[in-house]
Amino acid sequence: MVPRKSSVNRLESPKLVGLSNAFNRPEADSLDDVYDHIFASIVDQRLPPGTKLNELTLCEIFNIGRRQIGQVLIRLSHDRLITLHANRGAFVASPDVAEARTIFEARKTIECEITRMVATGATREMLAPLRKNVEEETAHRMAGRLREAIRSSGAFHILLGNLSGNEILAGIVRQLVARTSLVVSLYENQSTMSCWHDDHGDFIDLLEAHRVQPAVTLMRKHLAHVEESLNFNSHARAPLDLRKIYAPTLR
């Protein structure tokens, strides 16, 4: 595991243009920051499955050494977000159909139990971050900001995991959300993606009313809906060049 606040030099003159705005620019005060940025890029699908994570390019983007980048890549590999191949390098993971099914099975088991825990004792104040998240996601969708909407949708489940008060369960959910983004990126069905977020508002109402079993049932239904809406017969998109994703000015 990468230690917190490792000695990593901050970028003196950021070269990154990013895909949309300054929010996407990485800040590298620590190896955790590098990990978090790559993690977020997987969640919001800026880094699609199969993308080669060239170490030298990452060193240039984050202005850190190759050994430090290697540490981050090992951590991401342990989390099964990337795969490391001898003599070929690191690639963003590409879950096959069997793995995709197991990810959803794990999410249904874990998040339904987390839902039970939260619904039992949730207060309006505790649920405020979830309501704010739904408002942000709705605003992003209405403005056509799909990447930001995807990030908010994943964040909803991560926030719910945090409300459980169990750091281990919350960490597992965070990892599974990122792996789900890889699955969605590979097998998404555009005709059915738009209504995923509709369940979140109703779900919060059930939590606030302490309606435990209906909340659990809705969570299971919600995750099943996401899984069923995917097209597991689709072909994977072609991987992108890392420089085009992160740093157009480095080309």
208 pLDDT band, cuts 50/70/90, is very high
Q: What's the pLDDT score for residue 145?
A: 84
Largest CA distance in the chain: 55
Q: What's the pLDDT score for residue 12?
A: 38
246 pLDDT band, cuts 50/70/90, is low
- Phi/psi region, residue 11 (left: phi>0; alpha: psi -120 to 50; beta: rest), is beta
Mean of per-residue pLDDT scores for the chain: 83
User: Residue 213 and residue 218: Cα distance in Å, rounded?
Assistant: 9
1-94 folds as: Arc Repressor Mutant, subunit A (1.10.10)
The per-residue pLDDT for range 78-131, each reduced to its tens digit, is: 999 999 998 899 999 999 999 999 999 999 999 999 999 999 999 999 999 999
Strand locations in the chain, DSSP E?
Answer: 82-85, 89-92
pTM over 0.75: yes
Where along the chain do its domains lie? 1-94, 97-229
Name the CATH code of domain 97-229 (choices 1.10.238.10, 1.20.120.530, 3.10.450.50, 3.40.50.1970): 1.20.120.530
